[in-house]
Amino acid sequence: MTDRAHILSASPFRTHDVANQPPPLEDVNLYTLDACLRESVAREGAGAASGALEAFGGKLGARETLRLAVDANTNEPILRTFDRYGNRVDEIDFHPAWHALMAMAIGHGTHASFCDPADGGGQVARAAAFLMLGEVENGVQCPVSMTHAALPVIVKHRGSAPELEAWLPKLTSHRYDPRALPVAEKTGALLGMGMTEKQGGSDLRSNTTTAQRVSGSDRYPFRIVGHKWFFSAPTNDAHLVLATVDGGLSCFFVPRVLPDGSRNAIRLQRLKNKLGNRSNASSEVEFHGALACLIGEEGRGIQTIIEMATNTRLDCVLGTAGMMRRMLIEAANHARYRAAFNRRLIEQPLMKNLLADLTLESEAATLAAIRLAKIFDSHGDEQSAHLRRVLTPALKYWICKRGIVFAGEAMEVLGGNGYVEESNLPRLFREMPLNSIWEGSGNVMCLDVIRALTGKGTSARGLIDELETAQGLNRDLDAAIARLKALVVDPARLDEQQGRQLAESIAVTWCASLLVRYSPHAVGDAYCAGRLGAERSLQPGALPQGTAVDAILDRVFA
């Protein structure tokens, strides 16, 4: 028998063995694996939460949890406007995986760790948990973030609407309860918001939704008539909604179910067919006389709702940092095991440069996000208030923009393997633009940066003071601080047309100052050279010659 005949007779249908493929990155602890995150949590005063964060990181990195994320996005929510008999129900059916993920996030308290502006603390630990959640599933981050962001607003303005007192224990509960019931019968509740309309988008002052005071309802004495073009998480138990009354555009609390068990007059028109974030339901709605109560003063609706939007902008930064971290470790895991041209990818100089550059970007995003959360924790501190005002939009602008580029590069490391849905990288790629768009697109963020630097109580001095704590640690950084200082201390030089350049300069210089202070020298110096130095490049993977890429790559898997 010939050799060929022997092979065919032994295994006639065997064509190949599976080789040169990496093991799946699952059943890992997302917290213990991430040195930058652990160090940031300890440094920013949340070390007491490390045990809970490690437990949460283990749950999130488990194979079963990663499978839930796939199932929740593959089986998208379905709108049921009517029941079989023709009764209006406005229900949305979610896959069980969605509810399991929501229960996990709410059970850890990622929606309610920051409940009272007078308390202080809690933001950093919560931020770390939210960042890790972003590594796994991003749709659930929407209702979680909106609830977390709305809670300080509810606490601050509860005196204007006594009904809100009954909601607070349910909003801060760590029990997930998706049932459509009066709040008194719920074990937990979630909040959302409705701001934009089809004719206005970011121009909230163009809203046409109206509110009228009615008699006979002490709890909810207003009726809302109008529409909202983007109404995310419509099955949340209540929403903060902008509508115009005699005193001007105002903020209203609109429950989904009324105290008597009847549905409020909120009509779901359709669900949005979105690029990403497909596990989460986003809708268009109409209000047909929906009952509501006023939050805050009449005519100050934008000011009230912006308090909430500022908190969600922090979450845009955290969520993007989480996705960047996930795509980085997927790319690095692939490169550690995949070989080409007789060498593992991780051993090849050009791939090393790219992965090191992505590591710098991911570490900068994590450091900046957790530090920003710490600044949010500093209530009543005027310096922190100024920093928060300018850094939140600057970091949201820059990190969310970088996330989009980052995702494409990380996917390319895997080549065709990264382009197929089973790798989960296409899902993360589709998610990346959302955080840049949500709660104010890039241009809106840049305008907010300019306002923070030129308006009453300017943030320029606080920003420069903070940056100068890193003075003398890196020559490229020193030069960048000097350039930025010359620009921001003179409001007349802040040209709106150059808003993007300004926001980028603030964000990159801020990130560089954190890296040179808190990361290994190789990381901080390489970031400054690659982002601020004479050999800086617009493309990832072009770090200058002599960069200590091996030392940087040691940061990927701690």
DSSP string, 168-216: HHHHT-S--------GGG-S---EEEE---TTTTT-GGG---EEEE-SS
Is 4 a residue whose pLDDT tops 70?
Answer: no
Q: Find tokens 């006639």 and name the residue.
A: 12
CB 469 within 8 A of CB 517: yes
Residue 243 belongs to what H/E stretch?
Answer: strand 238-245
pLDDT digits (tens, 9 = 90+) for 312-349: 999 999 999 999 999 999 999 999 999 999 999 999 99
pLDDT digits (tens, 9 = 90+) for 499-517: 999 999 999 999 999 999 9
Is 224 a residue whose pLDDT tops 70?
Answer: yes
Domain ranges of the chain: 47-299, 303-553
CB 475 within 8 A of CB 504: no
Contacts of 524 (CB under 8 A, 6+ apart): 473, 474, 512, 515, 516, 517
Question: Which residue type does 107 have?
Answer: G
Contacts of 158 (CB under 8 A, 6+ apart): 164, 165, 168
**Which CATH superfamily does the domain covering 303-553 fall into?**
Butyryl-CoA Dehydrogenase, subunit A, domain 3 (1.20.140.10)
pTM for the full predicted model: 0.95
Residue 414 belongs to what H/E stretch?
Answer: none
What confidence category does residue 15 fall into, taking pLDDT thresholds of 50, 70 and 90?
confident
**Could you give the percent of the chain with pLDDT greater than 90?**
78
Contacts of 429 (CB under 8 A, 6+ apart): 276, 407, 408, 411
Q: What is the largest CA-CA distance in the chain?
A: 98
pLDDT of residue 492: 76
* Interval 395-421 mean pLDDT: 97
CA distance linking residue 255 with residue 238, whole number of Å: 4
Q: Find tokens 């309610």 and name the residue.
A: 112
Q: What's the fold here for domain 47-299?
A: Butyryl-CoA Dehydrogenase, subunit A; domain 2 (2.40.110)
* Interval 463-476 mean pLDDT: 94
DSSP string, 5-54: HHHHHH-TT------S-PPP--S--TTTT-HHHHHHHHHTT-GGGHHHHH
pLDDT digits (tens, 9 = 90+) for 486-496: 888 877 778 89
